[in-house]
Structure 1
């Protein structure tokens, strides 16, 4: 899935700002940074996982990455920053996708894209949003959302 995602996004993310919500291993955020993203913010609630992300950031000397310890929904509610690429892959057995989707879209830049990964694709998308790309791997649905052409 990650290879497909970055083929969709393009090999070069030069100058882009990226937000990796529910960062987990940080694979998407670290990959974005390796492709010249200007800024990557990783948000992770688990203290243990956050510490591992910080250690990996230091090990890789990834100065473009900021690792935030906290709840992704609260981060979205409190942030005023917009992002060109947002990675949204909350735990599958939760209702966090439905809660996070409208909040993440509010943080998306005008030409930005939102990557969604979930066991079930959202039944309905908010007004003004369209599916740009979509695929399935096993039991997982994933795709890119963007603003509809007006």
Structure 2
């Protein structure tokens, strides 16, 4: 696993093997960030990384100049790895929060310019995730959200849906709050 672009581009991340995660592959992440870079830069953006796991996406966002990143996960060891790595790299824009993401969404008060969610592929609430986040007011006007999901799983219809890009077994569905 590596950071693809920006200030830390090329840096390898080596999380512990025992974390309960399925990190986004480097190939899929590179394709995702190529798409996102064409839509606009991350500088000065407030970002949210849901189901953060290893912080793979959080570190990519920090490397590309995001102003703030909130990494939310339920697993303490994942958050500890993110904190330790951010400290080692002297990244102060990543803040971690230990929470059940579904409960976090239901009580969220903040809004973000960019939201990335990479839930467990068997999460029962996955098809409704985009609408729950948008209905809670978490995505700022003009903001973009990406949800990673299995290519075989259909997401619920949303008036903010833009497109889905498929990368083997994984797909990214894009949403924009207008």
Judge same fold: TM > 0.5, yes or no: yes
Q: CA RMSD in A?
A: 1.7
SS in 1 for 2:164: strand
Structure 1 gap segments, 5+ residues each: none
SS in 1 for 2:122: coil
**Distance between the aligned counterparts of 2:106 and 2:155, measured in 1?**
23
Choose the corresponding residue for 1:4, options 31, 49, 59. Answer: 31
TM-superposed deviation, 1:12: 3.1
When you count strand as a share of all residues, which structure comes out higher? Answer: 1
Structure scoring higher RCO (CA < 8 A, sep ≥ 6) equals 1
Partner of 1:16: 45
TM-score between both structures, scaled by the size of structure 1:
0.88
**Distance between the aligned counterparts of 2:109 and 2:43, measured in 1?**
22
Structure 2 gap segments, 5+ residues each: 1-27
Q: Is 1:125 equivalent to 2:125 in the alignment?
A: no
SS in 2 for 1:32: helix
How many residues matched? 146
**Distance between the aligned counterparts of 2:177 and 2:139, measured in 1?**
9
Q: Is 1:141 equivalent to 2:168 in the alignment?
A: no
